[in-house]
Amino acid sequence: MRKITPVMAIVSILGLLLPLSACGSSAAADNGLLYVFNTKSEIKDGLEKLVNEYGKEHGIEVKVFSPGSGSDTVETMNTEMTSSTPPAIFSTNSLVTWGPADGDFMLDLNESDNADLKALAQNVPDELRFTSEGDENLGLPYTLEGYGYLVDVDVLKDLFALDDDKVAELIADLKACDFDTFRAFTDAVDAYINNPQAISVNVNGHEYTTAPAKTGLANDLTGVFVESGAEKWTYADHMVNIPLNAVFENYGDAYSADLDAVDALKKPLIKEMEVLDYNTSHAAGEDGPNTRGPSFVNSTTGSYDYALQLFAEHKGLFFKQGNWIYPNLKAALADTEDAGARMLSSLEILPIKMPFEQSDISVKGRTPETFNTYIPAMVPNYWIINKKSSAAQQKNAADFLVWLFTSDRGRSFLTDECGFILYDELDQPDGANSLNNALLHYASAGKTLSNPFNASPGNWLEFVGNQLKQNYMTKAKWDESTYPALADTVIARWKNLKDIQSS
Amino acid sequence: MYKKWFLPFIAPAVILFTLVVGIPFVIGVLYSFSAWRGVYFKGGDNLFEAWVGFDNYAKVFRNPDFLNALGYTVTFTIMAVIAINVFALAQALLVNALGRAVGFFRATFFLPNLLGGLALGYIWLFIYENIFSTTLFGPDGLLPIDLLTNMTQDHNKNLLAMLIMFVWQQAGYMMIIYTTGLANISQDYYEAASIDGANAVQRFFHVTVPMLMPSITIVLFMTLANSFKLLDPNVALTNGEYDTRMLALQILRVPKDTSNNYGVAQAEAVLFFLIVAAISITQVIITKRKEVEA
Amino acid sequence: MTKKTVSRIVIAVVLTIMALVTLFPLWFLLINSFKSQAEIVKSPLALPHGLNFSYIANAIEKINLVPSFLLTVLITVVGVVFIILISSSVAWMMVRFKSKVANALLLAFTASMLVPFQAIMYPLINEFDDLGLKNTPGLILMYGGFGLAMSVFLYHGFIKSIPVSLEEAAFMDGANVFQVYWKIVMPLMRPTTATVAILNGMWIWNDYLLPFLVIGNGEHKTLTLSVYFAKIESGAYGNAWDLIFPAVLITIIPIVIIFLFLQKQIIKGMIAGSVKQ
């Protein structure tokens, strides 16, 4: 019998374990890979197709991943970014976690080896640059986004029996009017939906009267606003950004502010709750008003998708959303022919009016009028090269971005398929996309607010959303006396999270 | 012979154990005292430059989420331990009393235990949202009970939602343990008790329960540990919304909540370990004492 | 009818109801795997109109069933075999060569059962990433490490009851240590091996957290992980139940089939496992 010694046995067991680990790590260093991690779920399918085509053409192995909206993007991103095969291109508009001061994952495009990419990056206008100190240039903007109350102008025409010129005047008046006027206007529309008769309302000095009986699209209305109660981001992220704009001038201001600066949020936040209460208690549903309660937050009938459908079916006059919904809305209207095309081509955006007083606003230069005539605009995502991915991956990533922004196929994908406003086309407010045009009009007039909400710490936005969803969206009646306590809670949370983040 | 081969035979286990449990445990405790961010240390190149002492622990106790999750977990655990024991014991007694088709009932009750809690959680979510809240217990349902509607949208009701699902999963397993325990009780005891004039209830409390004590202890602590560490149904049903995070989920979500403050996550993990260890040690002490008495 | 018969009928009825309630979610899962999203939401309790396999086919494609299934089988089988070999060999030696080291090991293994996974998961993943092992082989090693303590404990308890004389006789006949381990000790421990295999197999098959942390959204996912990501990716349009139902159905079918065939062994194994805990 052959002798087996203990030492031989140990060696052979270790020998068994080693190849296990070896075969795993060799797969990691794959040179041909271009991995794109996209956090804008709307372009998921198109991007996947585009990148796959690109991969075939250029003979490199590609991978694209986009988490669905409303899912745990952050967590999935954490897992992916810290894995041994991290994405070469990732997207965010926040410096928290991955920015230079934290994990330092973002390649400064000014220092890219790719001269074309460097040139592209240097063309990004100052106000859209992704930077922490002002010198770096950390990504290429996806698009410019803005939001407010989207207006179904076709419905407005039938409501007030207006022709094209007159409705344009009404839109201009609605864009310029103050909060109380706007409230009187929505009250009139609400009264009309319940009891159609001639109701007169004065907007910005002009008198408008509803048609004596419901005609055309006015028959479809079931409420003033379309709401999606299951989607926390619609009433947390985007709504709370308005009061945040009363406290912080922009992203950087909120990012670097002192802990106590956020105390000033209390008064604007309470005012915002009044608006939220009004909007959600005048919500449109499938066959009648959509009332607050457990079904309001149901994950099916309270979803973004469902709300979009309601808006497309003219169930509501206003929809608090942004220009990003254009492609989806277009798809939802695809089989309605002329009516759909008319609606699409005439959409407008109104500012989210707030009952602010000057004493509520702590940002210098902003007045109540600012909030009633400006809309928030921001870059929602940047294409960022991950400097912790392999050199080969980074090279592929740079080549891809150049191709994306310079080739016909790439640009047509971005503008036509995704409906994006490219940073080098900001001066063209006359395209086919009515919402982009509306936004660009605000932008070119300098009437834009910023996105301090993107600088909120940790899961603050989710916390705000949960508070509203749990304690308000499911309740038919809101108690105004609870607003100050709510404001205190979310302010305390902001500080608490800042504290946890610090070290 | 054995002496010579002792080392080679234990080496793989020791290496593996050190690699998977030993090192991470030690590192984990150390990291809980540092500004660890998962892939880097904040404010330094290594653990010691980023050392923050008990800061992370202080932050944990200033963070309402952790205390909330702790309270929620304790409440759920108490409910689950009672409910599972009652159900499992009832099932075991009934199957025992029937004496027929034992195999069928055992297999049926046991089956859910084998299925993944996450996948099945999604099915339960649908049942709660779209069957319980409408057809069954909704306002226009068969039997309008408000408590059983929209359970996954409410801090308190969700306890019940998780409980129903968890009992469904666990009762069968515990029932089998009880059936085994019951089979070990000699019929002589029951006969003797009957002769002494004990009725069914008396026989249950004076013969069955005492003789079943070893099984009860096992079930008690198994359910205690399983409920305390519960994760999958929590993820599937609410994913922690409506303040329904239990501790396991809370720890998992800290990085997301705090923009990757893994140091704080690790501090919570260490606290979690201390609690679980305390429960288990209590179990061992109690079991040992029982054995001495017996 | 005697009083006893009546009570037995009552018991039978109660148990049957309990059984039906227990099986209801699975029945529900089955019928809704053949319906469209609209049918599921509108009439969830209705039987499907015929056996439309398109939703199952869609789910098979979406979650990459075949590779996911093979990967899950691979991880489970290799993981279980790995645990069995390593834990049985260490347990055998710990019993046969009583020493301070053996006692210390037993204490360490026992103590480690107190450590919940959450307590060490982050450093563990970090460490394995540094070692280049944040991948499938690494995942199997991790399962090996976690399954070890309980399995050693089970084997240790069993080996104590095997008389050493058989092994000594074999050594006298000139057998080497591996022959004794493989031909004498392992066959004797078969019942414990079954328990170890069942307990670890079920756990590894269904586990979500460890694959999530290790594989994440990698190319090849385990079944449970595939279902999780299918649900996450469908999040954009509410829950796509016509994908989730069939996907869940596919993941549980193998287990249900195995259970139907190996009922007795599985139940026995689970009881043995519980008593030793």
- The distance of B204 to chain A (nearest Cα, Å) reads 45
User: Is residue B23 one of the residues assigned to a domain?
Assistant: no
Looking at residue B101, its pLDDT comes to: 85
Domains A30-144+380-417 and A146-378+432-501 alike in fold: yes
In chain A, what residues touch B126 (CB-CB under 8 Å)? none
User: CB–CB of B114 and C120 under 8 A?
Assistant: no
Looking at residue A85, its pLDDT comes to: 79
User: Is residue B32 one of the residues assigned to a domain?
Assistant: no
Mean pLDDT, to the nearest integer, of A231-259? 92
The candidate with the shortest Cα–Cα distance to A240, out of A108, A151, A147, A106, is A147
Quote the number of domains for chain B: 1
Where do the structural domains in chain A lie, given as residue ranges?
A: 30-144+380-417, 146-378+432-501
Q: Is B231 left (phi over 0), alpha (psi -120 to 50) or beta?
A: alpha
Looking at residue A21, its pLDDT comes to: 43
Looking at residue A126, its pLDDT comes to: 85
Mutant choice from A61, A84, A299 vs C, greatest count of C C-beta within 10 A: A84
Mean pLDDT, to the nearest integer, of B7-36? 92
Dihedral sign computed on CA atoms, order C130, C133, C138, C144: negative
User: Is residue B118 one of the residues assigned to a domain?
Assistant: yes
pLDDT tens-digit map of B229-287: 999 899 889 888 888 999 999 998 898 888 788 999 999 999 999 998 888 888 778 87
Average pLDDT, chain C: 87
pLDDT tens-digit map of C237-272: 456 788 888 988 988 888 889 888 888 888 888 887
Looking at residue A25, its pLDDT comes to: 39
CB atoms within 10 A of CB A4: 15
Residue ranges in A212-283 assigned as alpha helix (H): 232-235, 237-247, 251-256, 266-280
User: CB–CB of B116 and C120 under 8 A?
Assistant: no
More confident position, A2 or A282: A282
More confident position, A349 or B131: A349
- What residue type is assigned to position C91 of the chain? A
Looking at residue A134, its pLDDT comes to: 74
Looking at residue A7, its pLDDT comes to: 52
C227 pLDDT exceeds 90?
A: no
CA distance linking residue A73 with residue A83, whole number of Å = 15
Looking at residue B85, its pLDDT comes to: 93
pLDDT tens-digit map of A123-175: 998 888 998 777 889 999 999 999 999 999 999 999 999 999 999 999 999 99
8 A C-beta contact, residue A123 and residue A300: no
User: Is residue B186 one of the residues assigned to a domain?
Assistant: yes
Residue A362 is given by DSSP the state -
Looking at residue B103, its pLDDT comes to: 87
Please give the C-alpha separations between residue C234 and each of A256, A418, A459, C218, in angstroms, as whole numbers. 36, 19, 22, 17
Mean pLDDT, to the nearest integer, of C176-192? 90
pLDDT confidence tier of residue B149, bands split at 50, 70 and 90: confident
CA distance linking residue A176 with residue A350, whole number of Å = 9
Mean pLDDT, to the nearest integer, of A46-67? 90
Looking at residue B291, its pLDDT comes to: 63
More confident position, A318 or C45: A318
Parent domain of B236: 64-256
8 A C-beta contact, residue A188 and residue A199: yes
User: Is residue B88 one of the residues assigned to a domain?
Assistant: yes
φ, ψ (nearest 5 deg) of residue B282: -55, -45
8 A C-beta contact, residue C120 and residue B25: yes
φ, ψ (nearest 5 deg) of residue C69: -65, -50
C23 pLDDT exceeds 70?
A: yes
CB pairs A-B closer than 8 Å = 93
What CATH number matches the domain at A146-378+432-501, 3.40.50.170, 3.40.190.10, 3.40.50.300, 3.40.50.150? Answer: 3.40.190.10
8 A C-beta contact, residue A304 and residue A231: yes
- The distance of A135 to chain C (nearest Cα, Å) reads 33
- Name the neighbours of B, counting chains with at least 3 Cβ pairs within 8 A: A, C
User: Is residue B262 one of the residues assigned to a domain?
Assistant: no
Mean pLDDT, to the nearest integer, of C73-86? 95
DSSP string covering A376-405 = EEE---EEEEBTTS-HHHHHHHHHHHHHHH
pLDDT tens-digit map of A84-127: 778 999 999 888 878 887 778 999 999 999 999 999 999 998 88
Mean pLDDT, to the nearest integer, of B63-87? 94
pLDDT tens-digit map of B197-225: 888 888 888 888 888 888 888 888 889 98
- The distance of A37 to chain C (nearest Cα, Å) reads 11
pLDDT confidence tier of residue C27, bands split at 50, 70 and 90: very high
Q: Which CATH number does the domain housing residue B231 bear?
A: 1.10.3720.10
CB crowding B163-187: b at 16 or more within 10 Å, else e: bbbbbbbbbbbbbbbbbbbbeebee
Looking at residue A5, its pLDDT comes to: 56
pLDDT tens-digit map of A181-192: 999 999 999 999
Residue A209's DSSP bridge partners are A200
Q: Are strands A89-92 and A382-385 parallel, antiparallel or unpaired?
A: antiparallel
- What residue type is assigned to position C29 of the chain? L
More confident position, B87 or B190: B87
Looking at residue A1, its pLDDT comes to: 41
The interface pTM score, or ipTM, of the predicted complex is 0.86
pLDDT confidence tier of residue C134, bands split at 50, 70 and 90: confident
CA distance linking residue B190 with residue B188, whole number of Å = 5
Mutant choice from C9, C10, C15 vs B, greatest count of B C-beta within 10 A: C15
Mutant choice from B5, B15, B100, B199 vs C, greatest count of C C-beta within 10 A: B5
Which one of B11, B55, B256 has the shortest CB-CB distance to A459?
Answer: B256
In which residue are the tokens 């085509």 written? Answer: A53
Mean pLDDT, to the nearest integer, of A323-337? 85
pLDDT confidence tier of residue A29, bands split at 50, 70 and 90: very low
Classify domain A30-144+380-417 by CATH number.
Answer: 3.40.190.10
Mean pLDDT, to the nearest integer, of C204-214? 89
Three-class secondary structure of residue A289 per DSSP:
strand
Question: Which tokens go with A347?
Answer: 């959409």
A364 pLDDT exceeds 70?
A: yes
User: CB–CB of C235 and A67 under 8 A?
Assistant: yes
Looking at residue A19, its pLDDT comes to: 45
The candidate with the shortest Cα–Cα distance to C29, out of C54, C56, C62, is C56
8 A C-beta contact, residue C80 and residue C200: yes
- Structural class in CATH, domain C54-276: mainly alpha
Any A CB within 8 A of B55 CB: yes
Q: Where are the beta strands (DSSP E) in A182-236?
A: 200-203, 206-209, 223-226
User: CB–CB of B277 and C114 under 8 A?
Assistant: yes
Which one of C41, C174, C235 has the shortest CB-CB distance to A70?
Answer: C235
More confident position, C49 or A119: A119
Looking at residue A413, its pLDDT comes to: 94
pLDDT tens-digit map of A206-221: 999 999 988 889 999 9
More confident position, A146 or A419: A146
Looking at residue C1, its pLDDT comes to: 61
More confident position, A458 or A26: A458
pLDDT tens-digit map of A374-395: 999 999 999 999 998 999 999 9
CB pairs A-C closer than 8 Å = 83
Residue A208's DSSP bridge partners are A201
CA distance linking residue C76 with residue C74, whole number of Å = 5
